[in-house]
Amino acid sequence: MGLKTVRKTQGNRPKHVPQRTCIACRQVAGKRALVRLVRTEQGVEVDPTGKRSGRGAYLHPYQECWQAALRSNRLEQALRTRISEANRQQLAAYMATLPLNAAADQAADEHHEVKSTAETHVSHPRP
């Protein structure tokens, strides 16, 4: 692993959004639209910055995809690791904070829409 050395070129970077595949539903999405999970010595953790080193896998920030990934052990396969029961529970706890699916997420966005333009924009930290 890690033999492919990707050189980081400063500047001169083509305007190209990195595309990643959700390991659950197999849909390709922009890297920022997905949550990265990284394999660490402590187990599998959510990587909100997307910058941690280690084998990573991507999932939509929706319970639907997480459930599928956890239930079918697709996450374990993608990360080539075993996920302990405690670790699984940590991931499940994170999953519980996510909207059920894209439709639920959009509905929530509409609901939270602020009418007043004077309001400061509440930024949604999207991993």
Residues at the interface with Zn ion (CB under 5 A): 22, 24-25, 60, 65
> Is 39 or 60 the residue whose CB approaches Zn ion more closely?
60
Provide the minimum distance between the beta carbon of 77 and Zn ion in the complex, in angstroms, as a whole number. Answer: 15
> Is 39 or 74 the residue whose CB approaches Zn ion more closely?
74
Provide the minimum distance between the beta carbon of 94 and Zn ion in the complex, in angstroms, as a whole number. Answer: 15
Provide the minimum distance between the beta carbon of 10 and Zn ion in the complex, in angstroms, as a whole number. Answer: 33
Give the residue closest to Zn ion by C-beta: 22
> Is 27 or 89 the residue whose CB approaches Zn ion more closely?
27
- CB neighbour list of residue 32: distance below 8 Å, 6 or more residues apart: 17, 50, 126, 127
